[in-house]
Structure 1
Amino acid sequence: MADIRKRNGKRGVTWQARYRDKKTGKIRYKSFPRRMDAEAFLVSTHSSDYLHDSDSTSMADAADRWLEVCTTTGRKGREPVEASTARKYAEHAEIIKEMMGGVMLSQLTPPICNQFRDDLLGHYSRRYAKKILTSFKSILSQARTDEFLKSDPAENTAIILSQRYEKKDEMAIPSVEEVGLLLRKAAELANGSNAQIRKAWSRYAPFFYVLAYSGMRPCEAIGLPWKDVDFDSSTVDVTQDATETGEIGLPKSASAYRTIHMPQVAMTALKKWKQECPDGVLGLVFPNWKGGVESHANITNRGWYVLQKECGLLDHNRKPKYPLKSLRHVRASLEIHNGATAKEIQMLMGHSSVKITFDVYGHLFKDHEEERAARADLIADQLSACGEYVAS
C-alpha cells in the first residue's frame, strides 16, 4: 500500500507519503512541500537501493565506525592498521565529519559527493584532497558492509593526479653531496668536545649511517636487534620493526623480511656503537638510554631535524628540507644509478610488488633507447639463421 495525503499544519500545506517499508514491513510516513516531490519519493521506494533514514546513519557515526574497524579488527580480513596509519585516518575522519558529519548516508547522491570533492580541492592540496577522498570512499564501503547504505553514491567521484603533477611532486631524495654532508656532520657531533652532545650523537650518528646505507625503513632500524646483525658477513636481517606506540612487531609485509648486504663503513660505525649501546631485554641496536624502544619522534626531532639545521638543509620556510624516510631512499637511488634492476630494488627495499618499486623509483630508471635499438639488431642477427625474408 502507498498513498499521498494532503495535510494542513503549522508549516502550511504539506503532502504526506505513506508506504510500507520493504525491509521491515512497517508503515512509514514522509512529508514534502510539493505533491510532485511526494510522488517521486514513492517511486524511489520501489528501488532496491532505497533505504529509510531510520535504517541509515550519519556520516559522522559512519566515520567513527570505520575508524573502529580499521584499528581493532581490520577491514575485509586485513590486519588492523598501524599506529601511524590510524593517526592519518583519524585526521581524515575529522575533516570529513567537519564538512559532512550531519548528512545521513541515505541522503547522499552523486552530486553531493562531487560537491564534497570540489570542496576538498578548494581547501587542500590536490594530493591531500585525494587521500581524504579515498578515506571517504572507504567509509562508504564499510557502511555498505554494515548495511547502512545500499549502493555507492561516490562510485564515479574521483580526483586524478596527472603525470605532470606527479613529476612536480616527485619524492624528495637527498643528493649524494647532501648525504655526505649530513653523515660527516653526524660523525663530527659524535666525536665533539661537548660530553652531552657527544653522548647523544654516539647513537644518532650510527643510526643515520645504517638508514642511508641499508635502505631500511626507520621503523625497521628502530626495531633492529643485535642478533640480526652479522659482522662476519656484513649483513643485516630484517625480521621485526617498531611501531609508533613503542611496541615491537612483525615487518610490514612478508616481502619486508630480507637480508641486506652492508658496506664496511656502516658496519664499522655499528661496531663502535655496540661498545656503548645500553643493555635491554629486547637487545635492540638503537634503544633509548634505558634499553627500551626508542621514540620515532625523538629520532626525528632531536636527531634528524637538528642535523639538517646544522647542515643548512632547509626549505624556503626555514624548515628541515627532508623527512626522515627520505634517507632510506638514498641506497635505492644509488643502486639504480649503478645499474640495479627493478626486481633487485624491490628485494632490497622490501616492497610487496615491483609495481610499488616503479611507482616510487620509476623516474630514476634510465630509458635505454640506444641499448634497446642495439638489442633489436642483435636479435635480428641471431634469428637470421632461421631464414631471411627477401622482398619481392
Structure 2
Amino acid sequence: MSIRKRKWKGPDGIEKEAWVVNYTDIKGVRRLKTFTRKKDADEFASKAAIEVREGVHVADRDTVTVKKAGELWIATGEGEDLERSTINQRKRHLKFHIEPFIGGTLLSKVDARAFQDTLRAEGRSPAMVKKALGSLGSIFADSIERKLAVRNPVRDMRRSRKGKERRAEQRQKGKLIVGEDIPTRDEVKALVGALSGRWRPLLLTAIFAGLRSSELRGLRWQDIELDRREIRVQQRADEFGEIGRPKSHAGERTIPIPPIVINALREWKLAYSRRSSAGTKTASRSGRT
C-alpha cells in the first residue's frame, strides 16, 4: 500500500496534481485509486488496508451501480418466491424513489444520509423516506451476500445515531396522530352516518375491527361468528386475490365486534341470500323454458 503525488499538464497547459493510492486487493490484483486531496487518499488507504487484511475489500471495478444492485435484489425476491405485491413494491421503490437520485452511483460511493436528505428535499413524506431507506438497506444486504459491497451505509447511519436520538425515535415509533394519521372521532361518526349500500358492512367492519386491507379481502362468512359477535382472522388475500396465511402467527386472531357491525353484516348476509335464491329460481325457469 503506497500513496504518491502525481503531476501532469492538461490540454490547456495548466499543471494539475492528484494523489494516487497503489495497492493490491484480496484477489492479488494491483489497483490504483486517485484522489484530489491527500486527506481522502490517506483515509481510503487506511480503510482499504484493513478490508484487504480481513478479506472483505471490494474494488470499485468489482462493484455495480445502485440500479443494477436493485435489479439483482428484485431477482432475489422473485427467486425466493415472495408475494407478487411485495415484488411490485420493491420495483416501485427502486423506480420512483431510488433510481432517480442515486441509480447511477456505485455502491461503494453511496452516502445514505445524503440520500435521506435528498428524499426530504424532493417532498417525500416521512413514511416514504423511511420505506425507501429500508429498501436501500435491503439492497445493500443482498449486495453484501453477492460480494458486491462490504458495508451497508443505511445500517451504519442508524448505528451512528446517538442514544438519545434512538430513544426518541423508539418512543415515536408506532404512535399515530389523530386528525393526521387516523380520523378524529367526529370524522368517524360522520363517515358511519353517511355509509349506505354494499359499502356499509365493508367499511363498518374495517373501522370497528381494525382489519388490514388484505385481511378484509380474505374474510369469509365462516370466519364471522354473528352470535358470538366476533371475527376470526385466519387468512389474507393480496391485491391480486391470491389467498395465503397471515404473515405472522400473531396475525391469526379473534376480534370482538360491536352490535352496529353485527347488524350490518346480518342485513348484508340476508340480502345476499335473497339475491342468490332469486337468481337460482330465475335460472330454473329459464331452463324449463
Shared fold per TM-score greater than 0.5: yes
- Structure 1 match to 2:106: 104
CA deviation string 1:252-305 (max 9, x = no partner): 3211212223333322322222234389xxxxxxxxxxxxxxxxxxxxxxxxxx
User: Shift of residue 213 of structure 1?
Assistant: 3.0
Contact 1:71 1:86 in 2 (8 A): yes
Structure-2-length-normalised TM-score: 0.69
Q: 1:255 to 1:38 in 2, by over 3 A?
A: closer
Match of 2:93 in 1: 92
Cα offset, 1:16, TM superposition: 7.1
Q: Percent identity?
A: 26
Q: Which residue of 2 aligns with 1:131?
A: 131
Query: How far 1:6 sits from its partner (Å)?
Result: 7.1
1:141 alignment counterpart: 141
What is the Cα-based RMSD across aligned positions, in Å?
A: 3.9
Report what 2:257 is aligned to. 262
Residues 1:53 and 2:69 aligned together: no
Q: How far is 1:93 from its partner?
A: 1.7
Cα drift, residue 228 of structure 1: 1.7
Q: 1:185 aligns with which of 181, 186, 194?
A: 194
* Counterpart position of 2:115: 116
Displacement of 1:240: 0.9
Q: Deviations over 1:118-158 (max 9, x none)?
A: 22232234443233222222222221122211123444425
Can you give the 5+ residue segments of structure 2 that lack an aligned partner in the other structure? 275-289
Q: CA deviation at 1:239?
A: 0.8
Going from structure 1 to structure 2, the CA distance change for 1:221 and 1:10 (only over 3 Å counts) comes to same
Cα distance, 1:151–1:185 mapped onto 2, change above 3 Å? closer
**Cα distance in 2 for residues equivalent to 1:246 and 1:31:** 52
Provide the rounded CA distance (Å) in 2 between the counterparts of 1:71 and 1:16.
Answer: 42
Provide closer, same or farther for how the CA distance between residues 15 and 232 of structure 1 changes in structure 2, counting only shifts above 3 A. Answer: closer
Between the aligned partners of 1:140 and 1:231, the Cα distance in structure 2 is 49
* 8 Å contact from structure 1 (residues 57, 104) kept in 2: yes
2 CA distance for matches of 1:130 and 1:258? 28
Distance, in Å, in 1 between the alignment partners of 2:236 and 2:8 is 68
Alignment of 1:12-31 (within 5 A): 19-22=23-26, 24-26=27-29, 28-30=30-32
Give CA-to-partner distance per residue, 1:151-175, whole Å, 9 cap, x none. Answer: 2344442596767899795563334
> Following the alignment from structure 1 to structure 2, what is the Cα–Cα distance between the partners of residues 186 and 35?
67
Query: TM-score scaled by structure 1?
Result: 0.53
- Contact 2:66/2:106 (8 A) holds in 1: yes
Whether 1:231 and 2:235 are equivalent positions in the alignment is no
Q: CA deviation at 1:244?
A: 0.7
Match of 2:203 among 204, 208, 232: 208
Question: How many angstroms apart in 1 are the aligned matches of 2:137 and 2:24?
Answer: 31
Residue 53 of structure 1: CA displacement?
2.0
How far 1:59 moved relative to its partner? 1.0
| CA shift for structure 1 position 247 | 1.4
Q: CA deviation at 1:229?
A: 2.1
Q: What is the SS of the residue equivalent to 1:275? A: helix
| 1:227 counterpart SS class | helix
1:127 and 1:249 mapped to 2: Cα distance? 27
For the residue of structure 2 that corresponds to 1:106, the secondary structure is helix
Superposed displacement of residue 214, structure 1: 2.3
Question: Structure 1: any 5+ residue segments left out of the alignment?
Answer: 75-79, 188-200, 280-392
Rounded Cα–Cα distance in structure 1 between residues aligned with 2:72 and 2:39: 33
Whole-angstrom distance in 2 between the partners of 1:19 and 1:70? 36
Q: Distance in 1 between matches of 2:204 and 2:40?
A: 70
Mark the CA change 1:54 to 1:261 in structure 2 (over 3 Å): closer, same or farther.
same
Q: Write out aligned runs for 1:358-369 (5 A).
A: none
Is the alpha carbon distance of 1:230 and 1:121 closer, same or farther for their aligned partners in structure 2, counting shifts above 3 Å? Answer: closer
The CA distance in 2 between the partners of 1:204 and 1:39, in whole Å, is 65
Separation in structure 2 between the aligned mates of residue 39 and residue 228 of structure 1, nearest angstrom:
65
What whole-Å deviation, never above 9, does each CA across 1:34-56 have from its counterpart, x for those lacking one?
79699746665433253112321
CA distance in 1, matches of 2:255, 2:47: 61
Residue 272 of structure 2 aligns to a residue in which SS? coil
Instruction: Tell me, in whole angstroms, the C-alpha distance in 2 between the residues paired with 1:18 and 1:237.
Output: 65
Question: SS in structure 1 opposite 2:32?
Answer: strand
Counterpart residue identity of residue 178, structure 1: E
- In the other structure, the counterpart of 2:34 is 32
